[in-house]
Amino acid sequence: MGVDVLTLQRLLQVIGPVQVPGENGAPPTTVTADNVRQEIFYRQYVDYAADRAARRDRLGVVAAAVLQALNGSKVSAADLLSVFTDSGEGRNLLLWSSDPLQEEAWAAVGADGVPRGGDLGVWLLNRGGDKLDPYLDVGVTLGKAPRPATTTTVDLGAGPQHRYRLDVKMANTAPDKLPEYIGGPHPNSTLPAGTYQGYLQFTVPGAASGFSTEGVPVDTALTAQGPDGASKVVALWVEVPRGQSKDVSLEFDLPEAASQVRVLPSARPTAETWAAGSQKWADRKPMVVDLTTLGG
């Protein structure tokens, strides 16, 4: 089971405030749907800056308090199902079981986390040894791209292809004077405090080919590329200094017969904003995009 702060927030919206026991004689802390993000993303890094093991233990204490309160509350089955469905679809709750029937149930509520062959997604994997993810705003635009005169597609015989483009804009909004554990730099890093660094990962349909990129140095382009189950993954290394933005693009081919994609939510603390043709949304749930409406 993987549970993130958005799932805890949704549970707290249903069950109400929870008293989390204090430590070493300290009074209990009241955790609510309004302050649980601040508690987990900021407060605990300040209170336990010198003791990472204690901070991780405290995360467990908060989660356990929420689940215990859930067990002792009179929550309607409809409300509880809504929490699990929303969290599963948003990839904020991921569940796996070795029991095929149980695993089928997790898949039914969208909580199995398995990308399908026609799925599309944009993810950021922090590698800076910091906690800057809540301060990185991400916007993605999906559209058609012109076919190059010569293509790098290697799937010969795949038939007619259309070319698509994902434009990603990342804006680092980290404020000054964040605690070092949150804003960095990590002791092993030579970058200034507040610089976001990590992998920008694209999950694309398994039939995608002919990849090309813009906005990253040639020597870091396509840091990783390969199959991931029925999908494919392309990953690029990115660095975004505090107060700055970075634009990165990925182009790829899909067979002409591919008429739609399902865009998976990123499960980021701050939702990615997406645009595809006339569709615009914040990625808290999967969104089906009709590729024939993109023009081009």
Residue 219 predicted with pLDDT over 90: no
- β pairing state of 279-282 and 287-290: unpaired
Buried (b) or exposed (e) across 190-212, using 16+ Cβ within 10 A?
Answer: eeebbbbbbbbbbbbbbbbbbbb
Q: What is the length of the chain?
A: 296
Comparison of pLDDT for 70 and 53, the residue scoring more: 70
User: Is residue 179 domain-shared with residue 218, that is, in the same domain?
Assistant: yes
User: Is residue 59 domain-shared with residue 156, that is, in the same domain?
Assistant: no
Greatest Cα-to-Cα distance within the chain, rounded to the nearest angstrom:
71
Contact present, 168 and 249 (Cβ < 8 Å): yes
Region 248-271: mean pLDDT is: 94
User: Is residue 38 domain-shared with residue 126, that is, in the same domain?
Assistant: no
Comparison of pLDDT for 22 and 103, the residue scoring more: 103
Does residue 114 form part of some domain? no
Last residue of a domain, one of 108, 131, 160: 108
β-bridge partners, 138: 170
Last residue of a domain, one of 75, 108, 141: 108
Residue 57 predicted with pLDDT over 90: no
Q: How far apart are CA 170 and CA 141, in angstroms?
A: 12
| Domain coverage including residue 134 | 119-293
User: Is residue 78 domain-shared with residue 139, that is, in the same domain?
Assistant: no
User: Is residue 146 domain-shared with residue 207, that is, in the same domain?
Assistant: yes
Directed axis angle between helix 5-15 and helix 52-71, to 10°? 40
For the chain, percent of residues with pLDDT exceeding 90: 56
Last residue of a domain, one of 54, 82, 108: 108
Question: What's residue 55's pLDDT?
Answer: 76
User: Is residue 152 domain-shared with residue 40, that is, in the same domain?
Assistant: no
pTM: 0.86
Residue-wise pLDDT tens digits, 92-148? 999 999 999 999 988 887 788 888 889 999 999 999 989 999 999 999 999 999 876
CATH of the domain at 224: 2.60.40
Residue 236 predicted with pLDDT over 50: yes
Does residue 95 form part of some domain? yes
User: Is residue 103 domain-shared with residue 123, that is, in the same domain?
Assistant: no
User: Is residue 75 domain-shared with residue 156, that is, in the same domain?
Assistant: no
Number of domains in the chain: 2
Q: 168, 252, 167, 250: which is closest to 207 by C-alpha?
A: 252
User: Is residue 177 domain-shared with residue 82, that is, in the same domain?
Assistant: no
User: Is residue 126 domain-shared with residue 95, that is, in the same domain?
Assistant: no
User: Is residue 92 domain-shared with residue 132, that is, in the same domain?
Assistant: no
Residue 253 predicted with pLDDT over 50: yes
Does residue 14 form part of some domain? yes
User: Is residue 268 domain-shared with residue 200, that is, in the same domain?
Assistant: yes
Question: How many helices (H) does the chain have, and how many strands (E)?
Answer: 7, 16
Residue-wise pLDDT tens digits, 137-168? 999 999 999 876 554 444 444 578 999 999 99
Does residue 221 form part of some domain? yes
Contact present, 131 and 181 (Cβ < 8 Å): yes
Q: How far apart are CA 227 and CA 255, in angstroms?
A: 17
Residue 200 predicted with pLDDT over 90: yes
Does residue 113 form part of some domain? no
- β pairing state of 260-263 and 287-290: antiparallel
